[in-house]
Amino acid sequence: MLTGVTIGQAAAFAGVTVKTVRHYHRHGLLDEPPRDSSGYRRYGSADLLRLVQVRALAAAGVPLAEVGPLLDADAEQFTTGLVDVERRLTERIAELTARLDTLRRLADGDRLLLPGRALAILDRLTELGFSDDYVTGQREALVLSKALSPELFDLFLTQFEHRLDDPEFGDLTKRGWEARSWDPHDPRIDELAAALADNLLAKRELLEVPAGYEPGPDAATRYGLVNHHLEDQSSAAWTRLNALVEAKLRAAGVPIPHQ
Per-residue pLDDT tens digits for 62-84: 888 888 898 888 888 888 888 88
User: Which residues, 6+ apart, have CB-to-CB distance to 170 below 8 Å?
Assistant: 128, 130, 163, 164
Report residue 35: phi and psi, to 5°: -95, 155
Give residue-wise pLDDT tens across range 180-209. 899 989 999 999 999 999 999 998 888 887
Does this model's pTM top 0.95? My answer is: no
Give residue-wise pLDDT tens across range 9-54. 999 998 899 999 999 999 999 999 888 878 888 998 888 988 999 9
Could you tell me if 49 and 73 are in contact, meaning their C-beta atoms sit under 8 angstroms apart?
Answer: no
pLDDT at position 216 over 60: yes
What is the torsion angle, in degrees rounded to the nearest 10, for the CA atoms of residue 154, residue 162, residue 133 and residue 254? Answer: -70
Question: What is the predicted pLDDT for the residue at 193?
Answer: 94
Report residue 72: phi and psi, to 5°: -90, 0
Torsional sign, CA 7, 9, 13, 17? positive
Question: How far are the Cα atoms of 120, 131, 254 from residue 115, in angstroms, in the given order?
Answer: 9, 22, 28
- Residues linked to residue 47 through DSSP beta bridges, in sequence order: none
Amino acid at 184: P
d(C-alpha 241, C-alpha 220), whole Å: 19
- Residues linked to residue 41 through DSSP beta bridges, in sequence order: 35
Nearest to 124 by CA among 109, 105, 106, 138: 138
User: Which residues, 6+ apart, have CB-to-CB distance to 70 below 8 Å?
Assistant: 57, 62, 77, 78, 81, 82
Higher pLDDT, 130 or 108: 130
Could you tell me if 172 and 195 are in contact, meaning their C-beta atoms sit under 8 angstroms apart?
Answer: yes
Question: How far are the Cα atoms of 188, 192, 240 from residue 201, in angstroms, in the given order?
Answer: 20, 14, 19
Report residue 234: phi and psi, to 5°: -105, -170
1-71: CATH class: mainly alpha
Amino acid at 35: R
d(C-alpha 160, C-alpha 131), whole Å: 17
User: Which residues, 6+ apart, have CB-to-CB distance to 231 below 8 Å?
Assistant: 238, 239, 242
Give residue-wise pLDDT tens across range 82-119. 888 888 888 888 888 777 766 665 555 556 678 889 99
User: Hey, where are the domains in the chain?
Assistant: 1-71, 73-108, 113-252
